[in-house]
Structure 1
Amino acid sequence: MLVETRENTGLLEWIRRRRGADTDGLSRVHERMWAGLESLVPPEAERIRAASAADESVGGVVDDFLPPDLRIPSHDQVAGRMMPWSQPLVIEGELAVCTVCGAYRNWLVLSTRDEIWLRCRAGHQQHEPRLDTAWYNRHAKPADATHATFEDCLRHLGH
């Protein structure tokens, strides 16, 4: 680093002028190079433009979504979900028992309208307020089928 003194004042001024000249010259070179680059287009870009123009001229919009037989209904199109629960169900330290027949295993757990219902093998249903949709989502596996009616779903699950 140079410290400005009487002896080197001329040298420092020459360096400052030189830096300014180089900066201006570099700016002009940069602008010329940039202008030259703007006119250049890679060959891949022209090929992609031509292909997209050909697709648009055909006029058909390609539907890249799944075919209807492979789509699953969204959550707002489904009345509810259910899963089998074969082992005894313990909720907050208590064993869940059917209030009608006393069954305590082989439940169907139904989730509908933000409520959880338990259905025993005999077909008795009871609301379970201690469980919620978050509990159901944590324990449920991915759906393996969708059914048009409640009875079809019961048959599918063996009830």
Structure 2
Amino acid sequence: MFHRIRRRAAEPSEAQRRFFEMSAQLQDQVPPGIGGLPAEPERDEQAATVNDFLPPELRVPSHDQLDGRMMPWKQPLVLDDEMVACAECGAYRDWLVLSTRDQIWLRCPAGRQQQETRLDTAWYNRSAGPADATHATFEDCLRHLGH
């Protein structure tokens, strides 16, 4: 439909001429650092001694520094199509799930504990949310969780 007609100039434009002149001047020049080995970066002694870790009161202990972890489990716990109940009182909800030494323990609302061999640490890690606090003693943790 529409055709563009390009006009070809017999001579290069003024901008093209300046570009060609500048290119010819810079052709044999190599910027410093190109083609040679990179220079060793200067080491700043001030930067090397900066402590960028959190202060101790803000650090979260790693899993190997904890004796165990605990989470509430309000709903009934169903394993292998069977609802888990306390062996002594028959409670089947409001559990505290304890993970310690690669074992899972269930604590009923009455305070009785039983080991649950059908659960493992991988299940606990998938099911537990982020820790909201750390406690020095087991009793402090129970109080924090309302037991």
User: SS of the residue aligned with 1:138?
Assistant: helix
User: Is residue 63 of structure 1 aligned with residue 51 of structure 2?
Assistant: yes
Q: In the aligned structure 2, how far is the partner of 1:106 from the partner of 1:76?
A: 27
Of 92, 112, 116 in structure 1, the residue corresponding to residue 104 of structure 2 is 116
Instruction: Pick one of 126, 129, 138 that aligns with 1:141.
Output: 129
What is the alpha-carbon distance in structure 1 between the residues aligned to residue 119 and residue 49 of structure 2? 47
Structure 1: runs of 5+ lacking an equivalent: 1-31
Structure with more helix by fraction: 1
Question: What root-mean-square deviation, in Å, do the aligned CA atoms of Structure 1 and Structure 2 show?
Answer: 2.6
Return the offset for 1:156: 0.3
Q: Secondary structure at the match of 2:71?
A: strand
The structure whose Rg is larger is: 1
Q: 1: distance between equivalents of 2:47 and 2:124? A: 47
Q: How does 1:1-159 map to 2 (within 5 A)?
A: 36-37=30-31, 40=32, 55-56=44-45, 58=46, 61-159=49-147
SS at match of 1:101: coil
| Cα distance in 1 for residues equivalent to 2:133 and 2:72 | 13
Distance 1:96 1:33, change over 3 A: farther
Q: TM-score, normalised by structure 2?
A: 0.71
- State the Cα distance separating 1:123 from its structure 2 match: 0.5
SS of residue matched to 1:97: coil
**CA, structure 1 residues 96+60, in 2 after alignment: closer, same or farther (shift >3 Å)?**
same
- Deviation larger for 117-126 or 64-73: 64-73
Long gaps (5+) in structure 2: 1-26, 34-38
For residues 152 and 65 of structure 1, what CA distance do their matches in structure 2 show?
28
Q: Percent identity?
A: 68
Deviation of the 1:33 alpha carbon: 5.9
